[in-house]
Amino acid sequence: MTAPDPVLLTPGPLTTSPQTKAAMLRDWGSWDSAFNALTASVCADIVDVVHAADTHVCIPLQGSGTFAVEAALGSFVPRRSKTLVPSNGAYCLRIARILSYLGREFVVLDHPESQAIDPQRIDAALREDADITHVAQVHCETGTGVLNPLPQIAGIVAAHGRRLVVDAMSSFGALPIDLRTMPVDALIAASGKCLEGVPGMGFVVARRTVVESAAGCAHSLALDLHDQWTYLQKTGQWRFTPPTHVVAALRAAIDQFTAEGGQPARLARYTEHCSVLVDGMRSLGFETFIGDDVQAPIIVTFHAPPDPAYDFAEFYRRMRARGFVIYPGKLTTVETFRVGCIGALRSADIRRAVDAIAATVREMGIEVMAPTSLSNLAG
């Protein structure tokens, strides 16, 4: 007998449903017409999630979400360009690092990690620097859980006549995104996030006219989205060996997404998970790193207990033994840990996780949960 799979309270990979797992039990030929039809149906449904069938296309790509981010930046941001990167966390800074590798000029607009991006600061930056051609923005900063105001940012970027590339890795499928009203050139996400598939496939929902004009822009053969899309249109096939089982699992996951009620229903379920988690953790004395007004119901960052008895590695080990996997913090200034709200879970799973955290805290002898300054504010 093998031990049951742990509940993944992470931002991806995440806990998947039995139906999604079962979809990977069949083998597919990568050039077979049945698999080509599977790919086409997945791409069509992904575009429909953001209401963009009239203007945008979906380009699938092998690899993790970061592969798709680099592919989008390399394929759609010209070599002679300048990109503004509004940053309030680790994944915003990853965009800047990718641009550096690509040799694309960029400027980082720093914000505190605990705050959402200020659209007015983007407006001012675009007014002051006419050389900026693109803005690259993370929608939900997974390092903290902060939700950035994408509709306002998109409107400002469009008003200045600049191009917008969005990392929607942790928001696609859960948070509302309507590309009929939101001017976005490229929207990037992946299979193993809020669509609740398994990791291994990124995808970019890109404006068709942008894709058509992107020939020769890419820095890499494997990450050339124009070439990938052109080949798909001509043959129905991926250029290189596709992650067949991942695509099949995503097809099953999207079917469940639709049956659940699509994006509004998924947002409602994740919002309930987040509320149960935050209320439960606060009842134990833990404090969130960011305010409720900027908290996305995707992943929650908690201050680490300042108690000498606390050690994350040991905390993680004991939580894992109780059947739950959590994430370490992603911040450099303060010690934190993160607990995800997404995946094929129910509120009862979140309540069990909070109970497991309470038991782990007692077992480790942790008595002080929140930093002193936060405790004083709470009092």
pLDDT of residue 1: 46
pLDDT tens, position by position, 211-228: 999 999 999 999 999 999
pLDDT of residue 373: 61
pLDDT of residue 4: 79
pLDDT of residue 12: 86
Q: What is the dihedral of CA 47, 48, 50, 56, to 10 degrees?
A: 40
Handedness of CA 328, 147, 265, 55 (dihedral sign): negative
Domains of the chain: 20-259 (3.40.640.10), 262-378 (3.90.1150.10)
Q: Tens-of-pLDDT digits for all 379 residues of the chain?
A: 456 789 999 988 999 999 999 999 999 999 999 999 999 999 999 999 999 999 999 999 999 999 999 999 999 999 999 999 999 999 999 999 999 999 999 999 999 999 999 999 999 999 999 999 999 999 999 999 999 999 999 999 999 999 999 999 999 999 999 999 999 999 999 999 999 999 999 999 999 999 999 999 999 999 999 999 999 999 999 999 999 999 999 999 999 999 999 999 999 999 999 999 999 999 999 999 999 999 999 999 999 999 999 999 999 999 999 999 999 988 867 899 999 999 999 999 999 999 999 999 999 999 999 887 654 444 3
Asked if 232 and 240 count as a contact pair (C-beta separation under 8 A), the reply is no
d(CA 175, CA 182): 13
Asked if 191 and 12 count as a contact pair (C-beta separation under 8 A), the reply is no
